[in-house]
Chains A and B, each alone.
Chain A
């Protein structure tokens, strides 16, 4: 069964303190791994798609990487506006998408 586990559940960082969020997955036939950002009371916002091990994508202070078993979302020199819940999802052989429970990031000024 497809499964996604995100860690840590919550992370508090000082502004400028870089860190990484983890997404471990089990899926038969990975067709894509996706990162989303979700602000309180809003729908998720798409960030990145990764298709194969070794692939990397960057956007501003965020960089997503992928191995055969996990993905990392690296946040470099975060700012308070980066505070949000970050969701990871995988698509296996079907059109289904399986989401993790997310990492709630708080960046303190």
Chain B
């Protein structure tokens, strides 16, 4: 199993540009989530999904969209990038259905100039 994969690993955007961060898992996990990690702050939940076709907002959803058309994929879309979205983004999936017991991907480091 490849586990949780994320692409790209690094990305630089200009303010106002849009992009999609890709996340895929090959473990048939129903629960998937997106977090951002900023210095001095804990991981913060952006959006999550409990199964294909079902998504919900987390703690910091503004400026981000998600969709879940398949069990395997959970892309995160930045609609109009802002410098405040400079961060490291992690995708995760849960084998138990419990949000706390998750496999995390390697992360995407995003810089918005």
Contact of B101 among A4, A46, A96 (CB under 8 A): A46
* Cβ contacts under 8 Å, B98 to chain A: 32, 49, 91
> Is the CB of A17 closer than 8 A to any CB of chain B?
no
CB neighbours (8 Å) of A43 from chain B are 4, 90, 92, 104-107
A99 close to B (CB within 8 Å): yes
A95-B56, A97-B45, A98-B42 known; A46 vs B99 contact (CB < 8 Å): no
Is A42 interfacial (CB-CB < 8 Å)? yes
Task: Give the B interface residue count (CB, 8 A).
Answer: 27
* Residues of chain A within 8 A of B40, CB atoms compared: 101
Q: Contact at A87–B43, with CB atoms within 8 Å?
A: yes
Let me know if B58 and A96 touch, CB within 8 A: yes
B42 and A96 contacting across the interface, CB-CB below 8 Å: no
Pick the residue among A34, A45, A91, A101 that contacts B41 (CB under 8 A).
Answer: A101
- Residues 86-105 of A contacting B (Cβ, < 8 Å): 87, 89, 91, 95-102
The answer, yes or no, to whether A80 is at the interface (CB within 8 Å) is no
Given A95-B48, A95-B50, A97-B99, are A87 and B58 neighbors across the interface (CB < 8 Å)? Answer: no
Q: Please give, as numbers and ranges, the residues of chain B lying within 8 Å of A16 by CB-CB distance.
A: none
Interface flag for A8 (CB, 8 Å): no
Given contacts A49-B100, A95-B50, 6 further A-B contacts (CB under 8 A): A32-B98, A34-B101, A43-B107, A96-B45, A98-B59, A100-B42
Could you list some 17 contacts between A and B, CB below 8 A? A4-B42, A33-B100, A41-B107, A42-B107, A43-B4, A43-B105, A44-B43, A44-B90, A46-B100, A89-B100, A91-B99, A91-B100, A95-B50, A96-B58, A97-B45, A100-B42, A101-B41
